[in-house]
Amino acid sequence: MDTTTIMVGYASCGIAAGAKDVRKLLEAKAAENGARITIKQTGCLGICYDEPIVEVHDQAGRWVYRKVNERKAERIFNEHVLGGKPVEGFLFHELSAGGREPKQYVFRQQQRIALANSGYIDPENIDDYIARDGYAALRHALLESSPDTILQTIIDSGLRGRGGAGFPTGQKWSLCKKSRGDVKYLICNADEGDPGAFMDRNLLEGDPHAVLEGMMIAAYVIGAREGYIYVRAEYPLAIRRLRIAIDQASERRFLGRDILGSAFCFDIKIKEGAGAFVCGEETALCASIEGERGMPRIRPPFPAEAGLWGKPTNNNNVETYANVPWIVRHGADAYKAFGTGKSTGTKVFSLAGKIERGGLVEVPMGIPLREVIFDIGGGIPKKRAFKAVQMGGPSGGCLPATLLDTPVDYESITATGAIMGSGGMVVMDERTCMVEVSRFFLSFTQKESCGKCTFCRLGTLRMLEILNRICAGEGREGDLEALTELAGLIKSASLCGLGQTAPNPVLTTLKYFREEYEAHIKHKQCPAGVCKNLITFHINADLCTGCTACVKACPVDCIRGQKGEPHTITLDDCIKCGSCREVCPTDAVYTR
Amino acid sequence: MEVTADRLLDLIRPFKGNDGATIPVLQAIQTNLGYLPPESFALIEQELGIPASKAYGVATFYAQFRTTPVGKHLIKVCDGTACHVRGSVTILTAIRDHLDLKDTDTTTDKVFTVQEVACLGCCSLAPVMMVGETTYGSLSFEKSREILDGYRAKEA
């Protein structure tokens, strides 16, 4: 008898969007209807904006349903699974067997290497991973190759660290491999600290075995017997799936002693991070695993010589490891076929902020920013104007529309003043105030500064004070010069990456959006209508249709008017939250 | 809630002899008790030989740890970049206002504690909050209040 498999997207994004209830309903329906229907969970396909996702796999192939709720799930089950007739209206056409030509393609420009399995396999089932060539790379490395050959493949592939700095992975491994010592450690940095980034979370939730396999291969190359995954405590589902994956891999003897009958021994432990952005820095991360405060120390010695507990240590990011099995299976040339000269392969980006299709994408390096944001991401919602894209989190910068043709590779992005970073792209529209955004980042880095270096500890505070004043309408002549001077001092007098890059959001916004700073300081205006001390909210009577949407949204009930008649805002009671402006369908609410 | 020393000792002792136990032991205490009671630090020193000053230094260094008790439901309101540009500050104001929180983070009936956090990693659903282990996305003023009213109703 033919079987039908139903897959429910069950990563954090899907669950938050309501996948739990959908799954429960489908499981109950399947139980009523006998054994030929299997319900499986899977990770995130990357189209988080369309969650919850449900897939039906039948004789015709794969059918992907978007934005499924219980009502839709019931219809999909009755009409498609039982009745054999797909529910056209709910389909995500691009990925569906009999789907229509989509208006805009989301996957066509993508190339999935790190995300190859996410959304395709049950991350809690090792057999699913193995069925898609999982652990074939490890087998090849241990039984048919040698550490030197594998290292050469990684060097040749041009793979660079995906955590942000872009250091060549092969070179890093090579340094650690050469270090003397019987005990060496391997670390996977899964302490995704950049606010606005979620690549690592999705990878760990969607394909934990790929990360483990990458770690095993790296450990084999450098000669480590013990590995740690340092993962954020804020990612409970990722931690749970990693634990399951480690248990399953141990049962199958991919971990432990004499792996696959070779002499290679390796174990992996999970360390839950306790919340400190600075722990993204290697030496701080080591200190944190040792149970200390996560404070960076002077390098050299680099962790490759003396890292965790003073032993040679190799540390890579989640996405870096996730690329490794693919490279070993397909070879360096296949990997290098994607990307540009110095930035080979692909990069995963998380798209968020003021963007139509927020989610995860994986694209070949070198693709222009515009294609990522507008073609794949669908551009800005509500037909508003694009203002900036923030790349690289608190260490990165904000790029304006004039730089949208910048190719996404390490060198080109760095040349703009931003950084590639770990891959967070937060898109901002005309209603985002760039001064307030840079204040936001500075307040983050100021809070997260570990306090070791004076310039980072106090310099960021002084910068924050100036930015707070500017946003409050108390900006003064000379503020911008003071910001620039402080920025230079902090960059040059800080020990680690946190301080060296903390001024970047301010510097890039000063460079590309200087007029917005000047409007705040000289004219006491916030052109984007965000900084509360500088704006008041009003309703344009010509545009207002009296739909009462704003009345319902107003938390302090300060909007008056009859249905169908223009409304007015009582300024004395208004708390300037902007809720009315957000919900207004005719853009009648404005600030001045 | 009165925490007995015995309860703390039960949580601390399994870490005897472990390398790098400072953070895991603090995490174990907080997971079970919701916060780090002041007497934890002396007991950690006594049982594990980690100086109380060091354990306290670690506890105050990392954002995760709290030294005061929290309400029954911990609400984490995300203020990551994506949530920030999509109005998380408004959501936080709405929630604090709705729960009648002025200078404190915990409601007088000890049902809710509100905390602003850096990023929950659900950026595509911004603005986001977590109540306990449950994540809620695409929040609006109204929606965030309805969610909390739902929790409140269960308490009554």
- Three-class secondary structure of residue A582 per DSSP: helix
Nearest to B94 among A352, A354, A555 (CB): A555
Residues in contact with A103: Cβ distance below 8 Å, sequence separation at least 6, in sequence order: none
Q: Which residues of A touch B122 (CB under 8 A)?
A: 12-13, 16, 198
Give me A511's structure tokens: 């460079």
Residues of A in contact with B128 (CB under 8 A): 16
**Where residue A81 sits, what CATH number does that domain have?**
3.40.30.10
In a domain, A235, yes or no: yes
Number of domains in chain A: 5
Q: How many angstroms separate the CA atoms of A232 and A229, rounded?
A: 10
- Is residue A293 a part of any domain in this protein? yes
Residue A266 carries which DSSP code?
Answer: B
**What's the pLDDT score for residue A49?**
94
- pLDDT averaged per 10 residues in sequence order, chain A, 592 residues: 86 93 95 87 95 94 96 96 94 91 91 96 98 98 98 98 93 97 96 91 97 98 98 92 98 96 96 94 96 95 96 98 98 97 96 95 97 96 95 94 96 94 94 96 96 96 98 97 98 96 96 97 96 96 94 89 94 90 92 91
Preceding omega of A296 cis (within 30 degrees of 0): no
In a domain, A121, yes or no: no
DSSP A102-149: PSS-SSTT---STTSSTTTS-TT-HHHHHHTTTTHHHHIIIII--HHH
Say what the pLDDT of residue A462 is.
Answer: 98
Closest CA to A193 of A409, A498, A507, A397: A498
Q: Are residues A192 and A244 in the same domain?
A: yes
Whether A350 sits inside 8 A of B123 (CB atoms) is: yes
CA distance A13 to chain B (A): 6
Q: Which tokens belong to A123? A: 């991350």
Residue A444 domain flag:
yes
When computed from its CA atoms, the radius of gyration of chain B, rounded to whole angstroms, is 18
- How open is the CA angle A193-B64-B129, to the nearest 5 degrees? 70
- Inter-chain residue contact B81 with A358, CB threshold 8 Å: no
Residue with tokens 């400072």: B22
CATH number at residue A387: 3.10.20.600
Length of chain B: 156
Asked if A19 and A9 count as a contact pair (C-beta separation under 8 A), the reply is: yes
Single pTM value for the model: 0.95
Residues A54 and A15 in one domain: yes
**pLDDT of amino acid A1:** 45
Mark whether A204 and A353 lie in a shared domain: no
One-letter amino acid identity for A313?
T
Q: Does residue A523 or residue B20 have the better pLDDT?
A: A523
A79: containing domain: 4-95
Same domain, A517 and A544: no
A466 and chain B in contact, CB less than 8 A: no
Furthest-apart CA pair in chain A: how many Å? 80
- Residue A577 identity: C
According to the model, what pLDDT value does residue A533 have? Answer: 95
Strand B134-136 relative to strand A589-591: parallel, antiparallel, unpaired? unpaired
- The verdict on residue A181 lying in a domain is yes
Q: Are residues A283 and A153 in the same domain?
A: yes
Best residue in B25, B123, B129, B130 for a mutation probing chain A (most A CBs within 10 Å): B123
A290–B19 CB contact, under 8 Å: yes
Tell me if residue A568 falls in helix, strand or coil.
strand
Whether residues A423 and A443 share a domain: the answer is no
Establish if A117 belongs to a structural domain: no
Whether the CB of A286 is below 8 Å from some CB of chain B: the reply is no
Q: Do A571 and A482 have their domain in common? A: no
What pLDDT, on the 0 to 100 scale, is given for residue A99? 82
Confidence at residue A242, expressed as pLDDT on a 0 to 100 scale: 98
Domains and CATH numbers, chain B: 5-61 (no CATH), 73-155 (3.40.30.10)
CATH code for the domain of A543: 3.30.70.20
User: Does A198 contact B128 at a Cβ distance shorter than 8 Å?
Assistant: no
Flag if A353 and B142 touch (Cβ within 8 Å): no
* Rounded CA separation A527/A345 (Å): 40
Task: Judge whether A119 lies within some domain.
Answer: no
Whether residues A72 and A90 share a domain: the answer is yes
Q: How far is A195 from chain B (nearest CA, A)?
A: 5
Return the residue of B nearest to A434 by Cα.
B85
Whether the CB-CB separation of B55 and B94 falls below 8 Å is answered with no
CA angle A145, A147, A148 (to 5 degrees): 95
| Owner of token pair 């020193």 | B45
Q: Does A230 touch chain B (CB under 8 A)?
A: no
The residue ranges of DSSP E strands in A354-459, in sequence order, are 359-364, 386-391, 397-400, 424-429
pLDDT of residue A164: 83
Chain B positions touching A276 (Cβ under 8 A) are: 61-63
**Residue A487 falls within a domain, yes or no?**
yes
Residues A488 and A568 placed together within one structural domain of the fold? no
CATH number for the domain spanning A446: value is 1.20.1440.230
User: Which segments of A24-108 are extended strands (E)?
Assistant: 37-42, 54-58, 61-65
The residue in chain B having the minimum alpha-carbon distance to the alpha carbon of residue A17 is B137
**Cβ-count burial of A127 within 10 angstroms (0-12 exposed, 13-18 middle, 19+ buried)?**
exposed
Mutate to test the interface with B, among A47, A191, A292 (most CBs of B within 10 A): A292
**Residue contact B21–A354, C-beta within 8 A:** no
Instruction: Write down how long chain A is.
Output: 592
Pairing of strands B73-78, A397-400: unpaired
A84 & A207 share domain: no
- B93–A577: do the CB atoms touch at under 8 Å? yes
The amino acid that residue A295 corresponds to is: M
Q: Which helix (H) or strand (E) holds B112?
A: strand B112-117
Distance from CA of A552 to the nearest CA of B (A): 9
Chain A: nearest CA to B64, how far in angstroms? 5
Compute the average pLDDT of residues B111-130.
Answer: 91
ipTM > 0.95 (yes/no): no
- pLDDT score, position B2: 61
CA Rg, chain A, in Å?
A: 26
CA distances from B47 to A267, A321, B7, B17, B59 (A): 28, 38, 13, 10, 17
Tokens of B27: 């995490």
- For chain B, say whether A426 makes contact (Cβ under 8 Å): yes
Whether the CB-CB separation of A381 and A430 falls below 8 Å is answered with no
- Asked if pLDDT for residue B1 goes beyond 70, the answer is no
Query: Which residue, of A335, A370, A385, is where some domain finishes?
Result: A335
State yes or no: cis peptide before A394, omega within 30 of 0.
Answer: no
A514: number of Cβ within 10 Å? 12
Boundary of a domain, candidates A335, A367, A387: A335
Q: Are residues A298 and A164 in the same domain?
A: yes
Q: Running DSSP on this structure, what letter comes out for residue A368?
A: B
Regarding whether A423 and A354 lie in a shared domain, the answer is yes
pLDDT of residue A2: 66
